[in-house]
Amino acid sequence: MIPGEFDYVVAGSVDEAIGLLAEGGADAKLLAGGHSLLPLMKLRFAHPSLLVDIGRISELRGVDTGDDSFRIGAATRHADLQVRDDMGLIATAAKQIADQQVRNRGTIGGSLANGDSAADLPGVLLALEGSVTVRSRDGERVIEAQDMFQGYLSTAVMPGEVITEVRIPALTGYGYGYEKFNRRSEDWAMVGVSALVKASGGVCEDVRIGLTHMASTPLRASAAEDALRGKPLDAENIAAAAQLAAEGTSPLGDLNASPEYKRHLAQVLTKRALTTASAA
Amino acid sequence: MSITEAPAGKSVGHSLRRKEDPRLITGRASYIDDIALPGMLYMAVVRSTEAHANVVSIDTSSALGRPGIKAVYTGADMSDLLAPLPMAWAPPGVEIKTPERWPLARGHVAHVGEAVAMVIGDDRYGVVDAAEHVAVEYEPLAVVVDVEQALEDEILVHESLGTNKAHEWTMGGGGDIEQALADSEVVVERRIVNHRTAGAAIEPRGVIAEYRAGGLTVWSSTQVPHLVRLFFAVQMGISEDKVRVIAPEVGGGFGGKLQIMAEETLCAWASKQLGRPVKWIETRSENMAVSHHGRDQVDYVRMGATRDGRITAFHANIIQDLGAYFGLLTPMIPELGAFVMTGCYKIPVVRTDITGVLTNKFFTDAIRGAGRPEMTHMLEVMIDQLAEELEMDAIELRRKNFIPAADFPYETPYGITYDSGNYEAALDRALEIVDLDAFRAEQASLRSQGILRGIGFSTYTEICGLAPSRAVGPSGFGLGIGLYESAIVRVHPTGSVTVYTGASPHGQGHETGFAQIVADRFGVDPAVVEVVHGDTAQGPMGLGTYGSRSLSIGGVACAHAAEKIAQKCREIVAHNLEANPEDIELRNGKFSLKGDPDQGMTLGEVAGCAYIDATNMPEGMELGLEQTLIYDPSNFVFPFGTHVCVVDVDAETGKVRVVRWVAVDDCGPAVNPMLIDGQVHGGVTHGIGQALYEQVVYDERGQLITGTFLDYALPTAEEIPSFETDRTETKSPSNSLGVKGIGEAGTIAATPAVVNAVIDALRHEGISYIDMPLTPMRVWQALEEARGRGDGPRATEQGVSLPPQGEGSAGSGPTRPEGGAA
Ligand SMILES: Cc1cc2nc3c(=O)[nH]c(=O)nc-3n(C[C@H](O)[C@H](O)[C@H](O)COP(=O)(O)OP(=O)(O)OC[C@H]3O[C@@H](n4cnc5c(N)ncnc54)[C@H](O)[C@@H]3O)c2cc1C
C-alpha cells in the first residue's frame, strides 16, 4: 500500500491545470478527491508521474441552480450534493455513496471521469440524460451522458481535458427512486438502479431507468422503460416492466454476485425504484 | 452501561473508565510505527507471486543499484540461522510432518506472498520501489488449494514430505462411536464448512530490531514478547540476557500477533549485518496475505439421539486446512476445540477425528477462539438440526441435555473437568430479555409483509485461561512450553504502586482491571496503581495474552502478589500499633485495628516504614514492599452463556441483517463490567463478521482474491446492532478470584446463533441448512433451490474461478495484488 514515486503540484485555476496537465505528458493525471486514484496508486495499479491537484480550485466547486437545470462544478463533493434535496435523484444517490469520510472527499468530476460502472453517479447521469463539459488547450466541448461511458474504466474524456462542469436537467414533475444493493452499507453497488417517472393521471408519461454495475459501463434499461411508458402505473405493470430490467445485459460475475444473481437483483431493484418513483 | 465511581478499596465490580483510554483517544499512544531510532533503515519484502514454484534464480543487481539501497538478501544469505521458524506443538505419541519454514524461501515457494528476498535501504518508499526491481525467476509447479483435493496427494505441497497429510489426531470417550450411533434412534448427519477468515487487526504487524554491541533489542507489535525473546535466543544464538523484546502499544491482535514472525528475524538478522536498526511496517495487502488466517475446516458431523431428545452420540471428522507451512501452533488449533466438543451437554459417547492437510495457501493458526468457535459452531448448529429432525423445540432440546448445575465440577467423556456452570440460569435470563412469545407473534406478522424474521440461539461453554503448565506443557498436551503467568507488585515509598504483568494486552484493558484488583488489596485508588507490560527487560518471564487467559492467570498472579504484600503490611501495622496481625483489616483505605478503625495506617504510611524510616519495622523483617510471583492454576476455566440473534432476511434478495442481539455471559464475578461488555461487543462482532461477511478466498491458481478491505468484508458499525448484554455470575473454583475469561466467548458463541436464526427465518421455505458466510447471493441461491430453481448455494470452498484480472469492476471486482510489497 505504498505508491510509486510521483510529482505533485497544486493548480490555482482551471487554465493552470490544463497547462500543467499538457506539460506533464502522457503520465500526468488530475487529482480531485483522490478516493479512486490514490487507492489504485497504493496498490500500484496506477503509476502517474505527476499529479495536478484541482481540489482547491474554487471555481470548480458548487452548484448553479437554473430554471430547468443544475450546473455542478466538477470538484463539487458528494457531501455537497447529499444535502441538496431540491436536486432529487442525484442527492439521493450521493447520500448512498460509501461513508461520510469518502463523501467528504470524493467529487462528481472524479467519479464521472473515473467511469467505474460500480459507482453511483455514472448511472444516475445516464438516467438524467445530463452532460459533462470538458476544457483543454483546444477549447471546450460538451459530452452527452449517452456518449460519456465507453468501456471498463474508460470515458470520452480525452487526455489533456479537464471536466469543468456537469449539467443535469431539473426534471420537474418527475418522481425518482434510487436503489443500491450491496453487502455492507459502505460498499460499492453490487447492482444499482435509478428510476425517474413522470406520471399524468396515473399513467406513465415518461420513464428513465439507469443501471449501475450491470456491464462494464452504466446502462439504460430500455426494454423496461418501453414496457412501462404509456401504461397505468400500477403494481402489476411496474412488476412486468421490472422483469425486463436485465434484458440484453450480460453482467460480469465476481466474488459476491454471479451474472444470474445480478440480473435478478436488477429486476428486484428496478421494481422497488419504480415503485418509489411512481409514489412521488 | 453506566460508569461508576468506586469507594476506596472496593473498586472491583465497578465499571471504572479505562486508564489506557486518554492516551489512546488523544493520540498520545506510541505504536510501533511511531518509534524512530537514529540511523534507522527500512525493510521491504519481495514476496512470491506464485502459489507453488521452484525459485530458479533471483537477480538483485538492479535493486541494489537504486538510490539509498544498502542491501538485498535472499534465503541463501541467511544460512547461519540456527533454526527454522518454530512450531511449538509436539503432542506425545502423535507424528506431525512439519515442513521447514525459513524467514526467506530456500529455493521453493509454496504460497503466494512467501518471502523470497528482503531489501534494506534508508528510505521507506525507496525500498518498496527497489523491491519491484528484484527479478525472481520461478518454475511454476502444480497448485492445490482445495483441502479435500489436497488429501488425495496427487499434487504435493512439499515433495520432501511425500504427502499433504500432516497429522492425524483422535480422541474418543465414553465408548465406541459407531456402535453408539448405530444404537441411536435418530442420527443427523451434516457436512459443515467453516471457512477461512483473517484476524485483520486495524494495526498491521511491525518490527524494529537493533543489534548493537552484542545485544539485540526488538520492538514488535506482538502478543507474546517473552516468547519472541526465547525464540531469538534459540535461533540467533544470542543469550537471553542480551535480548530485549518490547511490545509497544499494540493495535489489536485477535491471535494474529500470537506468532513468531518471519519479519522479526529478518529485521534482527539484517540489523546484525548492517549495524543499524531496521524497521518493517506491514502493509494492509501484506497483512491480508501473510498474517496468519484462521478457521478453514471441512467438518463431517454426526449426532445421534433418542426420539424423545436425549443426545446419545456425537462424532466430528474434521479436515483442517493448515496451509503451506506451520506457524507457532498451526496443527494444534482444531484440537483445542475438541476439548469442548460436548459443550453444555451430557453426551455419553463422543469422538473427534482430526486430519491436518497442507495446501498452497498461507498457514492458518490461532484467530480469536482458535478451534473452539469451529467446534461450538458444529455442536450448536447440529442441536438445531437435530431439533428439526425430532420436530422438537430447540430450546427444549438444549434444556433436556444440559449438564445440571448440581453436577459441577463435571467430568466430560474426554476427562476434562468443567470447573463450574449454571447453563439453565443463563438461558432463563436470556429468555426473560427476549420474550419469545412476543417474538413469534411479531415473526408471523412480519412474514405476511415479506420480511422473513428469524431467531437463533447458541448456548455455549468454552475452555480458556490457557494454563495449567502441567496439563498443556511438553509432557502434557505437548506445547513447547508450559503456560503460567508472572507478576511483580512494587509499592513505592510514598504508597503508589507499579505492577508488572507477563500478560501482554493489545486492547483488552489490563491496565484498568489489574489496577482495580491490586488497588483493592491495599485500599488505594486504582489511579495510583500503574500496570506495566510488554517489556522483557522490566519483568519476569511471562507468557502473553491469548486464549482468554490474562485475567484468570495474570490477574490472579497480581492478586496473589499483592496479597503477600498486604500480609506484610498487616504485620508492619500490627507492630506499630502493638497489635496482632490477625487483628488488622482493610477499612476505608487504611490497614486498621479491628474494632477501633481510627487506629490504622495507610499504604503510604506503611511504605514509609518499609523504605524511609526502618526503625518502625518489625525486628528482622526485610525492608521494602515488593513481590514477584509466578502463578500456575490448578485447572482451566469454562465460561458459558446464552447468545440470541434475531435476523431479518429479504425474501427477494437474500440479504440478511442482524436486528437484535442478546448476550448473557457468565465469566464469574466481574472485575469491571464495562471491560466485559467491550469484549462481548467485539467478540460477537467478530462472529457476525464470519457468519455473514468475511471470507478469505483464493482462486484455483492459489492467488489471493480477498487482498484488501474492499473484498474482505469486515462488518462496520452500520451492520452491527446495538448489543443487549447481561451476566450471570458463577464462581470458578479454579482460582481465588473465581473469574473466567471473556475475550473469545462472544466469537465462540456467535456464529451458530446467526446461522440458526437465518434457518429459523427460512425453514418454512424448505431450507434447513446453509454454510457460512451467509452472503446475499448464497441465501438467494438457497431460496431459489427451495423454490425449485437452480442448484443451491455455490461451494464456499477455495479455488473459485473468476474473470481474469482487470475485467471485474474496480468497485466490487477482485483486486489481486500480485505479490510485491505494495
Ligand atoms: C472506501 C471507498 C468506498 C467508495 N465507495 C463508493 C461508492 O459506494 N459509490 C461510488 O460512486 N463511489 C465510491 N467510491 C469512490 C468515490 O466516490 C470517489 O471519490 C470517486 O469515484 C472519484 O472521485 P475523486 O474526486 O475522489 O477522484 P480522484 O480519485 O481524484 O480521481 C479519479 C480519476 O478521475 C480523474 N479526474 C478527477 N477529476 C477530474 C476532472 N475534473 N476532469 C477530468 N478528470 C478528472 C483523475 O485523474 C482520476 O483518473 C469509494 C471510494 C472509497 C475510497
Same domain, A28 and A66: no
Q: In this structure, is residue A23 part of a structural domain?
A: yes
Cα-based angle B265, B267, B273 (whole degrees, multiple of 5):
100
DSSP code, position B182 = H
Same domain, B680 and B773: yes
Indicate the residue type of B564.
K
DSSP code, position B691 = I
Residue B6 binned pLDDT confidence (cut-offs 50, 70, 90): confident
Same domain, B108 and B124: yes
**Pairwise CB contact (< 8 Å): A152 & B807:** yes
Q: State the pLDDT at residue B791.
A: 83
| Arithmetic mean of pLDDT, B270-278 | 98
Q: Taking a C-beta distance cutoff of 8 angstroms, is the pair B382, B310 a contact?
A: no
**Pairwise CB contact (< 8 Å): B822 & A43:** yes
Q: State the pLDDT at residue B810.
A: 39
Residues of A in contact with B776 (CB under 8 A): 181, 183, 190, 256, 261
Residue B799 confidence (pLDDT) above 70:
no
Q: State the pLDDT at residue B395.
A: 98
Q: In this structure, is residue B738 part of a structural domain?
A: yes
Q: State the pLDDT at residue B795.
A: 56
Residue B9 binned pLDDT confidence (cut-offs 50, 70, 90): confident
- Helix axis angle for A235-242 and A259-279, nearest 10°, is 150
Dump pLDDT digits (tens) for B91-125. 999 999 999 999 999 999 999 999 999 999 999 99
Dump pLDDT digits (tens) for B222-251. 999 999 999 999 998 999 999 999 999 999
* Cα gap B115→B289, rounded to integer Å: 11
The C-alpha cell at B114 is 512467501
Q: In this structure, is residue B707 part of a structural domain?
A: yes
Domain that holds residue B120: 32-141+204-250+257-290
**Pairwise CB contact (< 8 Å): B812 & A190:** yes
Residue B812 confidence (pLDDT) above 90:
no
ω into B773 cis (within 30 of 0): yes
Interface list for B 760-799 with A (CB within 8 A): 775-777, 780-781, 790, 794
Q: In this structure, is residue B93 part of a structural domain?
A: yes
**Pairwise CB contact (< 8 Å): B697 & A189:** no
Residue B819 binned pLDDT confidence (cut-offs 50, 70, 90): very low
Q: Is B45 on the interface with A (CB under 8 A)?
A: no
Q: In this structure, is residue A248 part of a structural domain?
A: yes
Same domain, A165 and A181: no
Residue B403, number of CB atoms within 10 A of its CB: 22
**Pairwise CB contact (< 8 Å): A2 & B124:** yes
Residues of B in contact with A238 (CB under 8 A): none
Same domain, A119 and A191: no
Q: Is B800 on the interface with A (CB under 8 A)?
A: yes
User: SS3 for B133?
Assistant: coil
> Ligand 1 centre from A107 Cα, in Å?
6
Q: In this structure, is residue B9 part of a structural domain?
A: no
User: SS3 for B162?
Assistant: coil
Whole-number percent of chain B with pLDDT over 90: 94
Q: For the domain that residue B107 is a member of, what is the CATH number?
A: 3.90.1170.50
| Arithmetic mean of pLDDT, B676-696 | 98
| Arithmetic mean of pLDDT, B418-442 | 97
> Ligand 1 centre from A35 Cα, in Å?
5
Smallest CA–CA distance from B130 into chain A, residue: A4
Q: In this structure, is residue A1 part of a structural domain?
A: no
Q: For the domain that residue A198 is a member of, what is the CATH number?
A: 3.30.390.50
Of A4, A256, A268, the CB nearest to B653: A268
Dump pLDDT digits (tens) for B393-421. 999 999 999 999 999 999 999 999 999 99
Q: State the pLDDT at residue B813.
A: 33
Q: State the pLDDT at residue B7.
A: 76
Number of CB pairs, chain A paired with chain B, less than 8 A apart: 120
Q: What ipTM was predicted for this assembly?
A: 0.96
Q: State the pLDDT at residue B792.
A: 82
Q: What is the mean pLDDT of chain B?
A: 94
SS3 per-residue string spanning B710-769: CCCCCCCHHHCCCEEEEECCCCCCCCCCCCCCCCCHHHHHHHHHHHHHHHHHHHHHCCCC
**Pairwise CB contact (< 8 Å): B800 & A255:** yes
Q: State the pLDDT at residue B252.
A: 96
Q: In this structure, is residue A182 part of a structural domain?
A: yes
Task: Determine the distance in angstroms separating the CA of B743 from the nearest CA of chain A, rounded to an integer.
Answer: 26
Write down how long chain A is: 280
Residue ending a domain, among B612, B631, B650, is B631
Residue B816 confidence (pLDDT) above 60:
no
The least confident of B181-190, B233-242, B349-358, B775-784 is: B233-242
Sign of the CA dihedral running B418, B420, B424, B426: negative
Dump pLDDT digits (tens) for B319-349. 999 999 999 999 999 999 999 999 999 999 9
Q: Give nearest CA residue, ligand 1 atom 44.
A: A113
C-alpha dihedral, B532 to B533 to B538 to B542, nearest 10° = 140
Residue B718 confidence (pLDDT) above 60:
yes
Q: In this structure, is residue A88 part of a structural domain?
A: yes
Same domain, B275 and B132: yes
Q: Is A53 on the interface with B (CB under 8 A)?
A: no
Residue B609 confidence (pLDDT) above 60:
yes
- Work out the widest C-alpha separation in chain A, in whole angstroms: 61
Same domain, B597 and B660: no
* C-alpha distance from residue B506 to each of B18, B219, B280, B510, B536 (Å): 13, 14, 19, 9, 16
Give every residue of chain A whose pLDDT is below 50, as ranges. none
Residue B808 confidence (pLDDT) above 60:
no
Q: For the domain that residue B527 is a member of, what is the CATH number?
A: 3.30.365.10
Q: State the pLDDT at residue B4.
A: 61
Residue B817 confidence (pLDDT) above 80:
no
- Residue recorded with cell 494474529: B256
Residue ending a domain, among B290, B315, B341, is B290
Domain that holds residue A75: 58-169
Task: Determine the distance in angstroms separating the CA of A164 from the nearest CA of chain B, rounded to an integer.
Answer: 24
Residue B356 confidence (pLDDT) above 60:
yes
Q: In this structure, is residue B167 part of a structural domain?
A: no
Residues of A in contact with B66 (CB under 8 A): none
Residue B192, number of CB atoms within 10 A of its CB: 22
Residue ending a domain, among B631, B656, B680, is B631
Cα-based angle A197, A200, A202 (whole degrees, multiple of 5):
85
Residue B815 binned pLDDT confidence (cut-offs 50, 70, 90): very low
Predicted structure pTM score: 0.96
Same domain, B314 and B377: yes
- What is the domain count for chain B? 3
Residue B3 binned pLDDT confidence (cut-offs 50, 70, 90): low
